[in-house]
């Protein structure tokens, strides 16, 4: 494992323990509303602080772009992009599906990514050119060839990044053509699961850089294709993100656009 990922793992495990401890006391955890369905709790903030402190102990000159505390030394050579709790809504409801997502951006390019699920003790990692792994064992995207056999992940666009009816049209286009669809509630884990071959594809609108910085690299390093909805690489906001293995990717995009997929 790359030394940066070793430190990131230490940070994510410490933050994960903190999230699990706070979860024992969910009733007393106050959630502040940032927007519709967008919450922050003391648990998110504490986890983020633990991550930043752990990294700074080893790398005092690194910078951060973190969901809850924003940017610190954004012009540093190495900037960590951090979502200390992805799946806050699940967490607040006691739904056991959330994670920590961290990516190292070096000279402007995402080079390393880590997604840690503290409940299952699953550590997904990826380094550019070095592949992707789950608990240090190599992972690959699924090798399904047909959309009608594919299990997809998605999310309802509750941040109003795209009009709901546009999204529902896509859902209506794809659903009859695939095997089934899940909305799990953690974009980072959706991507990690595509990388691990658990999901065959995923699409969503309205995500932020910290939701996908680690996961998009992970899918690529596991052999998948990730683009925004116009084939570019800015996945944030209304651009949307779509990914799958190279064979399914084309079929998924066609189906989203309302075409009938023939394989
Ligand atoms: C959210 C989750 C959710 C996704 C949203 C994200 P948060 O992140 O990843 O699955 O649909 O787009 O904002 O708020 O739990 O960190
Ligand atoms: Ca998130
Ligand atoms: Ca979050």
Whole-number pLDDT of residue 238: 87
134 and 156 both lie in a single domain: no
Whole-number pLDDT of residue 162: 80
Mark which of 138, 171, 195 sits at the end of a domain: 138
61: left (phi over 0), alpha (psi -120 to 50) or beta: alpha
Write the CA distances from 155 to 93, 159, 164, 170, 179, integer angstroms. Answer: 17, 10, 11, 12, 17
- As averages over each run of 10 residues, the pLDDT of the chain (263 residues) reads 97 97 83 65 93 98 96 96 96 96 97 98 98 98 96 88 87 97 98 98 96 98 97 90 96 95 81
Ligand closest to Cα of 34 equals 1
Taking each continuous run of H as one helix and of E as one strand, the counts in the chain are 7, 15
Answer whether 262's CB lies under 8 Å from 251's CB: no
**Cα–Cα distance, 213 to 60 (Å, whole number):** 22
154 and 182 both lie in a single domain: yes
Q: Is residue 261 part of a domain?
A: no
pTM of the model: 0.96
131 and 213 both lie in a single domain: no
- In CATH, what number is assigned to the domain containing residue 213? 3.40.190.80
The count of domains in the chain is 2
Q: Is residue 132 part of a domain?
A: yes
Mark which of 138, 165, 187 sits at the end of a domain: 138
Among protein residues, the one whose CA lies closest to atom 4 of ligand 1: 187
159 and 242 both lie in a single domain: yes
Report DSSP letters for 60-127, one per residue. Answer: TT-EEEETTTEEESTTSSEEEEEEEEE-HHHHHTT-S--EEEEEEEETTEEEEEEEEETTTTEEEEEE
155 within ligand 1 shell (Cβ under 6 A):
yes
98 and 187 both lie in a single domain: no
Annotated binding residues for Mg(2+), as ranges?
A: 67, 83, 85-86, 211
- In CATH, what number is assigned to the domain containing residue 24? 3.30.540.10
Mark which of 118, 138, 158 sits at the end of a domain: 138
Find the helix packing angle between 246-256 and 164-174, rounded to 10°. 120
Domain membership of residue 18 as a residue range: 3-138
197 and 217 both lie in a single domain: yes
């Amino acid at each position: 494992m790359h030394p940066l990922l070793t430190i990131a793992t230490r940070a994510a495990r410490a933050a994960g323990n903190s999230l699990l401890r706070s979860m024992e006391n969910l009733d007393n955890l106050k959630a502040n509303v940032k927007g519709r369905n967008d919450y922050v709790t003391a648990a998110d903030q504490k986890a983020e602080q633990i991550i930043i402190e752990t990294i700074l102990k080893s790398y005092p000159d690194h910078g951060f772009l973190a969901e809850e505390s924003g940017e610190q030394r954004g012009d540093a050579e190495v900037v960590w992009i951090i979502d200390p709790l992805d799946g806050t809504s699940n967490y607040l409801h006691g739904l056991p599906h959330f994670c920590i997502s961290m990516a190292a951006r070096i000279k402007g390019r995402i080079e390393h990514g880590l997604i840690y699920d503290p409940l299952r003790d699953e550590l997904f990692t990826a380094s550019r050119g070095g592949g992707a792994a789950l608990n240090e064992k190599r992972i690959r995207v699924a090798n399904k060839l047909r959309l009608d056999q594919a299990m997809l992940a998605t999310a309802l666009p509750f941040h109003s990044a795209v009009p709901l009816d546009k999204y529902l049209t896509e859902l209506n286009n794809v659903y009859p053509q695939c095997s089934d669809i899940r909305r799990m509630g953690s974009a980072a884990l959706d991507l990690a699961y595509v990388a691990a071959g658990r999901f065959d594809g995923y699409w969503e609108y309205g995500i932020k850089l910290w939701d996908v910085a680690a996961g998009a690299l992970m899918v690529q390093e596991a052999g998948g294709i990730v683009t925004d909805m116009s084939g570019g690489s800015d996945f944030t906001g209304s651009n949307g993100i779509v990914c799958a293995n190279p064979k399914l990717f084309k079929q998924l995009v066609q189906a989203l656009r309302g075409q009938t997929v023939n394989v």
